[in-house]
């Protein structure tokens, strides 16, 4: 008989069941498992790890501290493969002077206002339905548009347009996934904001690339 189980709830920490009824420990919906003041997460965005960490926030973004001024914002329905890493702005050193050494963190006076510390960096923002491949690195302040695919091992910074294919180090847009008119229409439709039942009813159109059917849905 076909598997007719209901779609996973967005608050399910471990949304993938195993044949024996246990939950797959290496795949999590991030929103219910990350409680961190500098993260902002959309529903149904998941991450996977061959060796599941105790702390998913520290595993994925080890330089984003509770006291960091920047945020990491990730939209709905994103897919983050094993080994992907977000290097957020709190990892930065000053690089406009003669030395990049962070003297302030090792003492010699208060940290705040020290000339060896960089100023606050900008937020790192990932749109909706973005696939980040294994061992990809997202650099501080990157802005990745919805529908983008980041290739395995890519090192990505700056502004990435929606529905791009990105690969390499440094990460470059290899090509757009669709023509400009289709991208504009997909962003206007914004299927990721629909209720989950409506999304599932349109699954064939969404995953099959049928824009006319998606518009009809």
Residues forming a β-bridge with 132: 80, 150
Q: Are the beta carbons of 182 and 215 closer than 8 angstroms?
A: no
Cα–Cα dist 110/104, whole Å: 7
Q: Are the beta carbons of 40 and 57 closer than 8 angstroms?
A: no
Sequence-distant (≥ 6) Cβ neighbours of residue 156 within 8 angstroms: 136, 137, 138, 139, 142, 144, 150, 166, 170, 171
Q: Are the beta carbons of 23 and 5 closer than 8 angstroms?
A: no
Out of 36, 51, 93, 128, which one is annotated catalytic? 93
Cα–Cα dist 165/174, whole Å: 6
Would residue 93 show up in a list of annotated catalytic residues for this protein? Answer: yes
22-41: b (≥16 Cβ within 10 Å) or e: eeeeebbbbbbbbebebbeb
CA distances from 77 to 43, 47, 81, 127, 148 (A): 7, 10, 13, 9, 12
Question: Could you list the active site residues?
Answer: 93
């Amino acid at each position: 008989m076909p598997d007719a189980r209901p779609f996973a709830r967005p608050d399910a920490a471990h949304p993938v069941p195993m044949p024996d009824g246990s939950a797959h420990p290496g795949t999590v919906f991030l929103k219910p498992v990350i409680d961190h003041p500098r993260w902002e997460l959309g529903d149904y965005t998941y991450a996977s790890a061959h060796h599941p960490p105790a702390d998913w926030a520290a595993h994925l973004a080890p330089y984003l501290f509770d006291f960091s001024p920047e945020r990491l914002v990730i939209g709905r329905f994103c897919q983050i493969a094993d080994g992907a890493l977000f290097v957020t702005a709190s990892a930065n050193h000053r690089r406009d002077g003669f030395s990049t050494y962070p003297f302030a963190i090792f003492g010699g006076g208060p940290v705040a206002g020290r000339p060896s510390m960089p100023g606050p960096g900008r937020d790192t923002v990932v749109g909706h339905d973005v696939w980040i491949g294994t061992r990809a690195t997202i650099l501080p302040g990157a802005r990745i548009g919805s529908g983008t695919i980041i290739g395995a091992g890519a090192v990505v910074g700056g502004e990435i347009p929606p529905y791009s294919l990105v690969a390499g180090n440094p990460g470059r847009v290899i090509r757009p996934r669709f023509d400009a008119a289709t991208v504009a229409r997909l962003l206007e439709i914004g299927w990721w904001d629909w209720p989950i039942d409506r999304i599932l009813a349109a699954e064939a159109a969404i995953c099959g690339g049928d824009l006319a059917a998606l518009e009809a849905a």
